[in-house]
C-alpha cells in the first residue's frame, strides 16, 4: 500500500533531517575556545612585502574557506593553516566563521570529492608558519599577536 510507503519515506526523511540538525547544531555546544587566553588575541598576517595592507573579514572567509586564492589586487593568495596548535586553529575559525573545528573539517572533507576548492596549506608549528610567511609572498596566516614578527604584516585583527 502506498500508505505505508509514504510513512516510511516520511520517517526516513525526518530522521535524516533530525540527524542533520544534530550534526549542525549539536557540535556547537562544544565551544570551549575563547580569544581571551594567555596567548593574547589572534591576528591575520601576510608577508611584510605584500602590497595588501588590510583585509576584511569577508575576504578572509573567501580565502580560508576556498572560494578565491587571490588578494583584492588580483595577486595570488595562499592561506596557511597551523597543524600543531589546534587551539589556535580552533580559535581562528571560531572567530572567522563561527564554526567549531569539526565543522570546518567536515566542510573540507565534503569538498574533497566534489568541489574544486582547495583547503589552506598546513604548516605544522608556529615556526613553520613564520618561515612560510617569510619565504612566500602570497601566504596569509593567523597567529597570536604575541607571535607577530617584523617580517609579518598584520592585515586583520579580530576585535
How many helices, marked H, and strands, marked E, lie in the chain?
5, 5
Secondary structure (3-state) at 71? coil
Residue from 7, 11, 17, 157 binding other proteins (CB under 8 A): 17
CA 50 – CA 59 distance, rounded (Å): 16
CA 13 – CA 18 distance, rounded (Å): 9
Binding flag, residue 1, other proteins (CB under 8 A): yes
Is the backbone of residue 67 left (phi > 0), alpha (psi -120 to 50) or beta?
alpha
121 vs 125 by CB, closer to other proteins = 121
Q: Which stretch binds other proteins (CB under 8 A): 37-45, 75-83, 92-100, 139-147?
A: 92-100
Secondary structure (3-state) at 26? helix
32 vs 114 by CB, closer to other proteins = 114
CA 91 – CA 74 distance, rounded (Å): 28
Binding flag, residue 4, other proteins (CB under 8 A): no
Residue with cell 573539517: 105
Residue from 54, 115, 121, 122 binding other proteins (CB under 8 A): 115
Residue from 92, 107, 142, 156 binding other proteins (CB under 8 A): 107
Binding flag, residue 37, other proteins (CB under 8 A): no
Q: Which residues bind other proteins (CB under 8 A)?
A: 1-3, 6, 10, 13-14, 16-17, 20, 24, 58, 61, 65-67, 96-99, 107, 110-111, 114-117
Amino acid at each position: 500500500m502506498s500508505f505505508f510507503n509514504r510513512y516510511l519515506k516520511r520517517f526516513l526523511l525526518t530522521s535524516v533531517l533530525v540527524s542533520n540538525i544534530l550534526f549542525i547544531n549539536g557540535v556547537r555546544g562544544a565551544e570551549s575556545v575563547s580569544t581571551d587566553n594567555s596567548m593574547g588575541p589572534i591576528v591575520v598576517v601576510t608577508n611584510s612585502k605584500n602590497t595588501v595592507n588590510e583585509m576584511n573579514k569577508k575576504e578572509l572567509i573567501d580565502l580560508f574557506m576556498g572560494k578565491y586564492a587571490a588578494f583584492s589586487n588580483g595577486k595570488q593568495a595562499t592561506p596557511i593553516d597551523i597543524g600543531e596548535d589546534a587551539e589556535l586553529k580552533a580559535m581562528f575559525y571560531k572567530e572567522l566563521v563561527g564554526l567549531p573545528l569539526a565543522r570546518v573539517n567536515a566542510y573540507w572533507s565534503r569538498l574533497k570529492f566534489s568541489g574544486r576548492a582547495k583547503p589552506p596549506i598546513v604548516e605544522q608549528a608556529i615556526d613553520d608558519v613564520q618561515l612560510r610567511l617569510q619565504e612566500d609572498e602570497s601566504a596569509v596566516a593567523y597567529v597570536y599577536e604575541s607571535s607577530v614578527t617584523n617580517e609579518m604584516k598584520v592585515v586583520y585583527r579580530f576585535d
